[in-house]
Amino acid sequence: MTPTTALRHDRVVDAPTTPVVRLRNLTKSFGGAAALKGVSLDIHPGEVHALMGMNGAGKSTLVHLLSGVHQADGGTIEIGGHDQPGLTTRRARRLGISMVPQRRELVMELTVAENVLLGDLPAPHALVSWKSVRSQAARALFDLGIEIDVERTAGELTVAEQTMVEVAREVRRGGKVLILDEPTACLGAEAAHQIRTLVRTLRDDGVAVIHISHHIDEVLALADRVTVLRDGAVVHSGPAGDLDEAGLVKNMVGRDVVFRRPARPAPKDEVALSIRGLCHGRAVERFSVEVRRGEIVGVLGPAGDAQSRLFDLLSGRRRPDSGELSVDGAAVPLGRIPRSLASGLRCVTGDRRALGLIPELSLDENLMLASDRLARRRLQRWGSLTRRAAPLRRSYQVAALTANPAVGRLSGGNQQKVLLAKWLETSPVACFLEDPTNGVDVAAMADIHTLVDGLAARGVAVLLASSSAEEIMRLADRVVVVRGGRIVAERDITTLTHDELVATALGGQPQ
């Protein structure tokens, strides 16, 4: 994210006198560490209430208390005017509290209709009426302005469409308060616009939407009210119009965060990473790019396009149909992970949970997973491991509440720093980075941008695939735009405005 001017919606909401949810002095600790410290909050029907804060600020804990996943240590939760002690997930859902998590919870093999009515299939006389299933699902989608064929399987849908189906299911179940956790993360501009339109429809239908997002400009344009958590406490709560971008970021972080393009040494003439004619079905067609030492080349396109396949192809996880890869002038066989690593190419996945880290292992173990010494010696002394990991913790500013927790217990931003440290400290010649700031807060984003800048300043060739045009504008020297699996434009970043870059990626003209 770079500073932008958000266009605020012009809807003025007179909040009802009675909140649908009233939280008072909620506290919660895990293992002696306080996650929430006396949080009080009102949620009104027919409003979009943005819940903002850094990773680890307490947002997830708060919505987990409201949805009955965890029990509060102290304080009260009042729903519909009645106190709800010992709230469980079943009771929360019965009271109209629903949550759409960042990771989809659909049965991918079932149809849209079956997913919308999951757990509530009409079955008179013990026989499911499939005609009624399709009819009711179609009505649930229509009422929210969603145009999706109910006979398609969930696995065929885009991420944005899957989110819409989950929202329709929760609203049909009687959801009065809908918690949306990062609903536009990793979506392209068009798909994100569809989700924002759906959120406004929900608000206009009287649903209270608790919106969690790291996209500052989106929040300021969409939210009616904003509550900011920092270190488990509320530091600001009020109308969205009371804050500008700088003020919101300062409330979240506790200090000013400046995003600026730093001065880096000019890239060298030597090409360190060369990709020629890379093809993989219709997803990637004749992808070619050269990256010089010390240069950052961005790859931007709609979510799910060619840039989302590059990690698998360059890392060796998948073998392309054709193409050539060379690192530092030496040819690298495609489709072979050991040869890719031996070449000096480091590929950092955008899916840290599934492919990047081992959540059950400790922070230090994950930091050292890519170390040659650790790879050769399966048994490590714990003290030796901790001593070797300590400098990486410091240089990458990895923070943890306890000494050496399982990496899965860290915030998203700290997990991402562990993933980057794991690979970037293995003397790379070239790096492919896939969405390196996905799901991290603004302070972690600034730290990661500094790391990427430093990587290029050391002379490493960086190919950066990102779903954020702002990030490309902030980091890249050049950008290649992909659409429909092909490169449709290649430009020096200094010749583009942000709007021109977005329009090129979408195939249109800047407004």
Q: How far is CA 169 from CA 91, 106, 128, 213, in A?
A: 17, 10, 18, 21
As a whole number of angstroms, the distance between CA 313 and CA 284 comes to 10
Mean pLDDT of 40-62: 91
- Asked if the model's pLDDT at residue 109 lies above 80, the reply is yes
Given a cut of 50, whether residue 399 has pLDDT beyond it is yes
pLDDT averaged over every residue in the chain = 86
How far apart are alpha carbons 153 and 113 in whole angstroms?
9
Q: Which of 387, 494, 433, 444 is nearest to 259 (CA)?
A: 444
The answer to whether 490 and 472 have CB atoms below 8 angstroms apart is no
pLDDT at position 260: 64
Contacts of 402 (CB under 8 A, 6+ apart): 31, 33
Band (257; pLDDT cuts 50, 70, 90)? low
**Range of weakest confidence among 56-65, 255-264, 285-294, 322-331:** 255-264
Mean pLDDT value across residues 231-260: 85
Reply yes or no on whether the pLDDT at 317 is more than 70.
yes
pLDDT at 131 over 60: yes
Distance CA 128, CA 121 (A): 7
Express each pLDDT in 9-34 by its tens digit: 445 445 445 899 999 999 999 877 89
pLDDT at 375: 45
Measured CA to CA, the distance from residue 188 to residue 196 in angstroms comes to 12
Angle at 355 between CA 350 and CA 356, to 5 degrees: 70
For 401-431, how does the pLDDT look when each residue is reduced to its tens digit (9 = 90+)?
677 888 888 878 888 999 999 898 888 999 9
User: Confidence class of residue 374 from pLDDT cuts 50, 70 and 90?
Assistant: very low
Task: With a cut of 90, say whether residue 460 has pLDDT above it.
Answer: yes
Q: Residue 193 in 3-state DSSP?
A: helix
Q: Can you give the pLDDT at residue 261?
A: 66
As a whole number, mean pLDDT of residues 459-463 equals 96
- Would the pLDDT of 150 be above 90? yes
E strand or H helix at 113: helix 112-116
Model confidence band, residue 456 (pLDDT cutoffs 50, 70, 90): very high
Element (H, E) at 203: helix 189-204
Is the confidence at residue 48, as pLDDT, over 50? Answer: yes
Domains of the chain in start order, with CATH, are: 21-96+175-253 (3.40.50.300), 107-173 (no CATH), 271-506 (3.40.50.300)
pLDDT of 510: 45
Residue 385 has pLDDT above 90, yes or no: no
